Chain A
């Protein structure tokens, strides 16, 4: 499995070869056009294209991880050991093993593993002793990268390896991948929506095209001045516990430390900070998905829980029932679901009765946002990194859709993100968290 390569004597050989290659899921082709391209070993290629155009499928095909209902045609030849970095960490890591063990199982070298953990900024021993569900989305994503590199691959397949990461961690991960590829002359195939990722890795960009005709972004509705207070969070604190072998609770990490925040009706607030700073925890507490140790969350509007706050999770695939169709998934939240709504999120209306499981990660994220946004009128829409897996046109469309609802109904938005552009377009007040504390609040820039 492990092929070591000598830098000096590497002949230029084919690493990946696609010829007229296509994959069909239950008859429907995954790529708009059959893929034909060639990568020699050591080459770096970035796959770009609208969400749903088949980037993930192509990477999975190279990794040999296509699902059972996929049928491929044409040729796909891979030489060497593939190291696949999946897009999403909840399902890709075993929930039963500590992440340290999951890396050790792949590579016994303790020093090498410790170096990898340190390079991605997870050197504290508590990370290695955590189970995946105790980590934040960004931390899980970094673990996936460590895992792939611990296998010493000669072909690295990275699927949005930094979508959930803050700029600092992103730079660290990309440098790690880039350095590894340079040292071992590994081939690099990266899928991303962000040109920045390709730039930093020095990739040649291969555009896989769009899955459908992208409609131009709509005019954003004028912002409406924030109204009265919607929710006040006072002195919120929460500690994560873990259990020892006798099942006693031991404090593991301070997730929230005396957080106080006021959100007004119609306001947009961005929650930023390094991965693991407690952003998702605060979002989950607000949505009533998580409990907190002390402090209070007071809602000023008299609304039932689901009409008050809707949380769109970081990994939207987990929140949608895979056996549902899009229409069923949306009808679950609001009874006025109609096919026209799909155009708001850049999906063709005839997909209304398509199964959720046939969608790509990014498309599912869009359905999840649409579902939550159309449920709410006055409450708080919480988007936990929901926009990070989307291409720029789709993202802009969704932002204008949410902003329309903001202007019409006075919906407030809490954006958990690393994406400066989205923060800007929403005109957010920026709240920065670090180790569970609010360290800075920047007022909204009026556009």
Chain B
């Protein structure tokens, strides 16, 4: 129990550091939304100054920081500068859209990756599959998604449905999972206690469920925590490329127009997913591995 609490405190501390760093990063940035606006000949320096004031951007950093911390804790992440709307209202529907893509893709990638690895190790073809999986893992997402798009159009499939981003995301994550899983499983099969159990007549599902998988599990659980964040991160790109109305396109747009409140919230959110994933993975390993559980 103490371990869980300690991990929780540690995670919250991490989140506080990362989000504060993000906050200050955008305060030291040499330009902001309004300096870009000045390129527009119809805007005057005076009018941007009043708007800066309206958004409280002229106040000292400490005051802005305190305000931001307080409102963030209430769940209010500020106003978008470009849309003049609360960040929360802009993001909420898009997060839902992203989740409808990222969650199925993550599940699919794990089922495919682990399934292929178990199949590969059992039929002893894993070693020969490894190079192709490594190659697949190395293909940049941009090229993979473009290829899929091109294929979809050539075959005449609809490209405004969620299958396209889901397929692209799965394709981006599954090979990495396969590579890790097949390596860990082959290592586990070679462990002394697994070989001895086999020699004593333990076979089939009993061998795999009770001996091989637990021995291979720890690194994979850690990877699961990380992959949650990488699924969301990759989905930014995939969505922007396939035109899926998730958070990806908004993020790209906000970065280009220097709509910092949005960028800042999304970066913090992304790190929160990563930290949460790690936290859950740590607890899971603690729960599952009797050697760690003694601590």
Cβ-based interface call for B54 (8 A): no
Can you report 18 residue pairs joining A to B where beta carbons are below 8 Å apart?
A64-B199, A81-B201, A82-B199, A84-B196, A86-B192, A91-B193, A92-B193, A93-B193, A94-B215, A95-B193, A96-B211, A96-B289, A105-B206, A106-B200, A133-B291, A148-B200, A247-B4, A247-B293
B27 contacts chain A at the CB level, 8 A cutoff: no
Q: Is A243's CB within 8 Å of the partner chain B?
A: yes
- Contact between B293 and A96, CB atoms less than 8 A apart: no
Which residue of chain B is the closest to A240 with respect to CB atoms?
B294
Give Cα A285–Cα B193 distance, bound, in whole angstroms: 28
A246 interfacial contact with B, CB 8 Å: yes
Which residue in B191, B199, B200 is a CB contact (below 8 Å) of A91?
B191
**A94-B211, A105-B206, A243-B294 known; A65 and B193 CB under 8 Å?**
no
Contact A151 B200 (CB under 8 A): yes
Give the 5 A-B residue pairs with the shortest CB-CB distance, closest first: A96-B214, A91-B192, A1-B201, A131-B290, A94-B193
Q: Within the complex, what minimum Cβ distance (angstroms) separates B169 from chain A?
A: 32
Instruction: Please give the number of chain A residues whose Cβ is less than 8 angstroms from any Cβ of chain B in the complex.
Output: 33
A248: chain B residues at CB < 8 Å are 1
Q: How far is the CA of A241 from the CA of B1 in the complex (A)?
A: 14
**Docked complex: A29-85 residues within 8 A CB-CB of B:** 63-65, 68, 81-84
Q: Across the interface, do B199 and A105 meet the contact criterion of CB distance under 8 Å?
A: no
Residues in B whose Cβ lies below 8 Å from that of A106:
200-202
The answer to whether A96 and B190 have CB atoms under 8 Å apart is: no
What are the residues of chain B within 8 A of A1 when measuring CB–CB? Answer: 201
A90 to B136 alpha-carbon distance, docked (Å): 39
A97 within 8 A of B: yes
The answer on a CB contact under 8 Å between A65 and B196 is yes
- Contact status B3-A247, CB under 8 Å: yes
CA distance A97 to B290 in the complex (A): 8
Q: Which of A86, A95, A241, A247 contacts B291 (CB 8 A)?
A: A95
Are A65 and B1 closer than 8 Å at their CB atoms?
Answer: no
B: number of interface residues (CB 8 Å): 28
Asked if A68 and B201 make an inter-chain contact with CB atoms under 8 angstroms apart, the answer reads: no
Which residues of chain A are within 8 angstroms of B206 by Cβ–Cβ distance? 105
Q: What is the 8 Å Cβ interface bit string for chain B, positions 144-180, against chain A (1 contact, 0 not)?
A: 0000000000000000000000000000000000000
CB contacts under 8 Å to A, within B188-208, are: 190-197, 199-202, 206
Query: Which residues of B lie under 8 Å from residue A94 when comparing CB positions?
Result: 193-194, 197, 210-211, 214-215
Q: In whole angstroms, how far apart are the Cα atoms of A2 and B202 in the complex?
A: 12
Contact A65 B199 (CB under 8 A): yes
A134, B3: Cα distance in complex, Å: 20
| 5 additional A-B residue pairs with CB within 8 Å, beyond A64-B199, A65-B199, A133-B290 | A94-B214, A96-B289, A247-B1, A247-B4, A247-B293
Q: Is the CB of A96 within 8 A of B199?
A: no
Within the complex, the shortest CB–CB distance from B22 to chain A, in Å, comes to: 34
CB distance from B202 to the nearest CB of A (A): 6
Asked whether A424 is an interface residue with its Cβ less than 8 Å from the other chain, the reply is no
Closest to B197 in A: A94
Known A95-B290, A96-B215: A246·B1 in contact at CB below 8 Å: yes
Could you tell me the distance between the alpha carbons of A68 and B191 in the complex, rounded to whole angstroms? 11
Cross-chain contact of B210 among A93, A105, A147, A243 (Cβ < 8 A): A105
CB of A175 within 8 Å of the partner chain: no
Contacts of B201 in A (CB 8 A): 1-2, 81, 106, 151
Q: Cβ of A242 < 8 Å from any Cβ of B?
A: yes
B210 neighbours in A (Cβ, 8 Å):
94, 96-97, 101, 105
